[in-house]
Amino acid sequence: MKIRYIVLLILVANLFSACSKFLDVKPKGIVIPEKLADYEGVLNAPAMNKTFPINLLDFADDNFNKLDQLSQSATANGYYWRPIITVNENASPDVWGALYNSIYSTNVVINGVMKAADGTVAQKERVKAEALVVRAYCYLNLLTVFGKAYDPATAATDPGLPLVTSINVTDKVPARSSVQVTLDGIINDVSTAIPALPESNINRYRVSKYAAYSLLSRVYLYMANYPKAKEYTDLALLAPHTLLNYNNYTAYTQLPVYDLNPEVLWQRSAISGSPVFMLYSADLKSFFDSSDIRYQFLTVTNNNGLGRASLPGTYNFGTTFPEMYLTKAELLAREGKFNEAMAIVNDLRKKRIKTASYADQTAANGEDALLKVLAERRRELAYSGVRWFDMKRLDREGRMPEVRRINPDTQGVDASLPPHSPKYTFEIPVRVTLFNPGMERNFK
């Protein structure tokens, strides 16, 4: 449906400096939806569906890159874990700028849809609920980049994010909330949304109850709140679904596109770019062997090494049923229910390993099962967008070894990410602090 745009050129010109201060959100016009269909149109817009910052793949230990050490690009800065991702103060900052732009769009819906000229109350509440979940997803991604990993002992004082709820660009930028308040806001948005959400929606980009459950599963896993993570993982897995058996396909081109893939629970696209041809690190390659069909289907050899294959359809960075199963297995292993955890892992592996080579994995105890679950998570969820999220939470509990960026020419170490390093948190972008000098920094 056509969205009504009223472009007030004089007003926009007067507001541009304020827009810059308002977390680098620069709307070209004032969006004034009037009818329910207009708000539906906002939900279908790229800013509401392309909400994954590809930079998160640069940070992860899955990725190997051949970069000039002198490069100051956002890719290089992220890959080497330098404090600032985007150093050009005249450019919209990577991760921050695009995600706050998406948050602006969600706030347009959240603040206005209940005043739409038509539609039932239930229809309006459903549209508002979808926007709340998208906003929560954006804030979670921002937090994993610009906030410290969740630690219940320090979360109340660790700086989190400015929680923006207004669409008035002249309003004062909120101060950074704590990590705890940020996560509480994320949880509140999703929990508030759930009663109004449908069990299924018009496509996988749009939000369902099960998509909301899966996001809460991920949030609570990040917080190491395992009882709550289990509750919402189990609810997400109640959704009708199927796991693909890769043995039934002879080539990756036969796999269904993500939009139609029964393993996809909630689809999110990248803001820009894709993992296609991104190179597997030596560490990631060590998790696979020749019997793993994922290694055959999901990789391609190029001039620089082993890269990610170009899979059918628009790449998904949302939640999937395999992720939920592996979360469930991890939670069971942490409870000491190692046989139940391994049963889930083996059910997935049967569909990923060549039948002639397949053998069940076993575990001696909960810790052994947990290590095997985390290894399977590494294989199954490579380049799905959750590895940086996993690295941060696992580092907090002492499960992350030092990560090194190896120079392909000299074999020397160009950069390293030691356990518990402050490099796991990036600094607030230059452009944002330039316009908001009072905003709290991560590093004093």
Domains identified in the chain and CATH numbers: 5-232+386-434 (1.25.40.390), 233-385 (no CATH)
Give the per-residue pLDDT at 287.
Answer: 97
Distance CA 43, CA 47 (A): 8
Give the per-residue pLDDT at 172.
Answer: 85
Q: Residues 309, 348, 218, CA angle at the centre, nearest 5°?
A: 80
Cα of first residue to Cα of last residue in the chain, in angstroms, is: 49
pTM of the shown model: 0.93
Which residues lie across from 276 on neighbouring strands? 308
One-letter amino acid for residue 167 of the chain: I
Q: Do residues 134 and 102 touch, judged by C-beta distance below 8 A?
A: yes
Q: Do residues 222 and 282 touch, judged by C-beta distance below 8 A?
A: no
DSSP H or E segment with residue 280: strand 279-280
- 10 Å Cβ neighbour count for 4? 12
Give the per-residue pLDDT at 84.
Answer: 97
Strands 269-270 and 50-52: parallel
Tens digit of pLDDT at every position of the chain (444 positions): 333 322 222 222 223 333 444 455 545 445 579 999 999 999 999 999 999 999 999 999 999 999 988 999 999 999 999 999 999 999 999 999 999 999 999 999 999 999 999 999 999 999 999 999 999 999 999 999 999 999 999 999 999 999 999 998 788 889 999 999 999 999 999 999 999 999 999 999 999 999 999 999 999 999 999 999 999 999 999 999 999 999 999 988 899 998 899 999 999 999 999 999 999 999 999 999 999 999 999 999 988 899 999 878 889 999 999 999 999 999 999 999 999 999 999 999 999 999 999 999 999 999 999 999 999 999 999 999 999 999 999 999 999 999 999 998 899 999 999 999 999 999 999 999 999 999 999 997
Distance CA 406, CA 27 (A): 41
What token pair was written down for 206? 């749009």
Q: Do residues 194 and 212 touch, judged by C-beta distance below 8 A?
A: yes
Query: Coil, strand, or helix at residue 23?
Result: coil
Distance CA 126, CA 110 (A): 10
Can you list the alpha helix ranges (DSSP code H) found in 194-292? 209-222, 226-236, 282-285
17: Cβ contacts below 8 Å, ≥ 6 apart: none
DSSP H or E segment with residue 231: helix 226-236
Q: CA gyration radius for the chain?
A: 22
Distance CA 175, CA 247 (A): 52
| Alpha carbon separation from 358 to 5, 16, 355 (Å, rounded) | 57, 60, 5
Give the per-residue pLDDT at 259.
Answer: 87
Give the per-residue pLDDT at 13.
Answer: 26
Give the per-residue pLDDT at 26.
Answer: 47
